[in-house]
Amino acid sequence: MTNFTSSEASSTRSRTIAYWVTTLILATECAVGGVMGALKLPAFIGIMERLGYPAYFMIILGVWYVLAGPALLVPRFARLKEWAYAGLVFTYTGAAASRLAVGDGAETLVAPIIFTGLTAASWALRPSDRRDLAAISAASSRSRTIAYWITTVLIALEWRLGACGTSCSYHTFERSWSTWTTRFTSWLSLASGRYRAR
């Protein structure tokens, strides 16, 4: 019985250490990378220009990136941590997708992939006091339905834009985007009216 308890405690301790190591690496990267981005250092401006992003995007991304670090470290605030983890996944996978979109080599994907993995590891290793399980289990079917339809619409949009291939011009994209947003806004208005009527 003592060996079982001892191995369980050792496993919990190892998990806690792994959590804090991955989380501290992420928080440090958020602080350092966010400040360097927000200051628009020349090396990073060159990367952003190559990827096709405007310089002001560095400030926006840098500020949110800096704020994600403390959000991961502070006690409690489980929902805030969930948002920070989601933001980091969006940032790192977006970086990888941007690099692929401009035709950069595989070596430019290493850091985003590693940091996506660290984010997933930190999220999965969270101690129970840093999780928001009650909110997850209490999700309503209405929220799931809305999430389902938003996801379906986004996938359909991606399929439609992807189907254009390289033959679509910017103006074709702009017209289809305008039409899509008008239809989606009308649908949301109709859907929200239905939910309010209940």
**117-169: per-residue pLDDT in tens?**
999 999 998 887 777 655 445 555 666 777 777 777 777 766 666 655 544 54
- Residue 39's nearest CA partner among 62, 18, 17 is 62
CB environment 126-143: b (16+ within 10 A), e (fewer): beeebeeeeeeeeeeeee
Please tell me the distance from the alpha carbon of residue 85 to that of residue 94, in angstroms, as a whole number: 14
**Mean pLDDT in each 10-residue stretch from start to end of the chain (198 residues)?**
61 87 94 90 88 90 93 88 93 92 90 93 84 55 73 73 52 57 66 53
Ordered by start, the domain boundaries in the chain are 1-134, 139-198
**Lookup result for tokens 């985007």:** 177
pLDDT of residue 12: 81
